């Protein structure tokens, strides 16, 4: 879609008409493709509302005849979110008071309910754990999520329990630590070693054109481009040669901004994707085949991106005291790093 065509924000689905769609009404074809999620009447309403685009421009006529090979983008309506319910899910609590709670989130735990994950999330666990100690965010008794970690990223995460804590922490994260009140450090196990052992990746991020669930480095002239800055330091190199030709490296990443998938995209952008990252490091999967056992089997079986949020520091929203929390990498990542170190 052209950069000048403004789209409403939302979840988009891309479809290409095949030969069987030739000559069909647009609403009929879309209703067939999107069944059972959307009825024909709902599809017609979406078309008339400008939610269906052809070559970057909205198509407003449901009767329009489809031609084979045409590429359509459809903004799908957001499903109505059910009210999160309390669930007795174990939590690794690093700190808690009346205003906030700090969690060491395990890999595999989704932070907030959403499509495909309405239950079993950190929010469900916190509602159960905190109970009446939640004084309300926006008038509702619920935990205030001020930042997130990907489902398969482990590490330190802070959640507000009161409205005033939510406002103060949200401002700190929106400021990205420029005022000096926020510090975040991650450890990432990556393929190869960056040519410079310390560096700054300053590359704007936007939605990937081929898959809107992914992020990509984009031109800063694009409408959806968001500034993204990652500072990295190589902590350790692994392999027979302890130089830029090393097999892998343990890298510390510190965030100046906090974009979705920022570290994963930035490290892949400079040619060193995270080990285990099936979204941004697929091209490197064959590298595992050249590793000796048992490392080859460990890498092939590693179920997630090798990323851990090790450090989080912030100013307490009420006491103004600087709070600093660290959590060591979980066992699966520690074992993987140790096996690389034995090369």
pLDDT digits (tens, 9 = 90+) for 4-48: 333 344 578 899 999 999 999 999 999 888 877 777 888 898 898
Looking at residues 98-126, what average pLDDT do you find?
91
Partners of 234 in the β-ladder = 251
List % helix, strand, coil for the chain (3-state, nearest 5). Answer: 25, 30, 50
Give the pLDDT confidence score for residue 1 in this predicted structure.
Answer: 34
Element (H, E) at 95: strand 93-96
Could you please report the per-residue DSSP string of 178-191?
Answer: TTS-EEEEEEEEEE
Residues noted as catalytic = 150
Domain boundary among 174, 204, 230: 174
Summarize pLDDT for 213-223 with one digit per residue, the tens: 899 999 999 88
Residue 312 burial by CB count (10 A; 0-12/13-18/19+): exposed, middle or buried? Answer: buried
pTM beyond 0.95, yes or no: no
- Angle at the Cα of 110 (from 104 to 116), degrees rounded to 5? 170
Is 203 inside a domain boundary? yes
Range of the domain at 18: 11-76
Is 2 inside a domain boundary? no
Give the pLDDT confidence score for residue 39 in this predicted structure.
Answer: 77
Give the pLDDT confidence score for residue 40 in this predicted structure.
Answer: 83
Same domain, 59 and 107: no
> What tokens does 141 get?
């008794």
Is 147 inside a domain boundary? yes
Domain boundary among 139, 154, 174: 174
Domain boundary among 76, 105, 131: 76
Give the pLDDT confidence score for residue 180 in this predicted structure.
Answer: 66
User: Which of 152, 145, 99, 153 is CA-nearest to residue 125?
Assistant: 145
Same domain, 337 and 216: yes
Same domain, 263 and 331: yes
Backbone φ and ψ for 129, nearest 5 degrees, come out as -70, -45
Summarize pLDDT for 280-307 with one digit per residue, the tens: 998 887 888 889 999 999 999 999 999 9
Looking at residues 273-278, what average pLDDT do you find?
96
Same domain, 282 and 305: yes
What's the structural domain count of the chain? 3
Is 198 inside a domain boundary? yes
Same domain, 304 and 189: yes
């Amino acid at each position: 879609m052209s950069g000048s065509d403004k789209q409403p924000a939302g979840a988009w689905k891309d479809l290409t008409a095949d030969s069987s769609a030739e000559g069909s009404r647009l609403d009929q074809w879309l209703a067939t493709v999107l069944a059972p999620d959307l009825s024909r009447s709902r599809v017609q309403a979406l078309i008339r509302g400008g939610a269906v685009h052809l070559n970057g421009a909205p198509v407003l006529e449901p009767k329009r005849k489809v031609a084979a090979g045409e590429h359509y983008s459809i903004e799908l309506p957001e499903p109505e979110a059910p009210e999160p319910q309390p669930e007795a899910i174990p939590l690794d609590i690093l700190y808690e008071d009346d205003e906030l709670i700090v969690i060491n989130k395990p890999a595999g735990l989704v932070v907030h309910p959403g499509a495909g994950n309405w239950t079993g999330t950190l929010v469900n666990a916190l509602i159960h754990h905190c109970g009446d100690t939640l004084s309300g965010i926006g008038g509702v008794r619920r935990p205030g999520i001020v930042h997130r970690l990907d489902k398969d990223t482990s590490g330190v995460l802070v959640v507000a329990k009161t409205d005033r804590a939510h406002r103060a922490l949200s401002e700190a994260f929106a400021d990205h630590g420029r005022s000096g009140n926020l510090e975040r450090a991650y450890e990432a196990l990556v393929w190869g070693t960056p040519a410079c052992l310390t560096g700054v990746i300053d590359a704007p991020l936007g939605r990937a054109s081929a898959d809107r669930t992914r992020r990509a480095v984009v031109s800063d002239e694009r409408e959806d481009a968001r500034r993204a800055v990652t500072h990295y330091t190589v902590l350790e190199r692994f392999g027979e040669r302890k130089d830029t030709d090393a097999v892998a490296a343990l890298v510390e990443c510190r965030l100046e901004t906090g974009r979705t998938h920022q570290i994963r995209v930035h490290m892949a952008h400079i040619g060193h994707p995270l080990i285990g990252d099936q979204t941004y490091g697929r091209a490197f999967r064959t590298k595992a085949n050249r590793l000796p056992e048992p490392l080859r089997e460990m890498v092939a079986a590693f179920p997630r991106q090798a990323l851990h949020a090790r450090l989080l520091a912030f100013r307490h929203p009420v006491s103004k005291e600087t709070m600093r929390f660290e959590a060591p990498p979980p066992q699966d990542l520690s074992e993987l790093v140790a096996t690389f170190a034995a090369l």
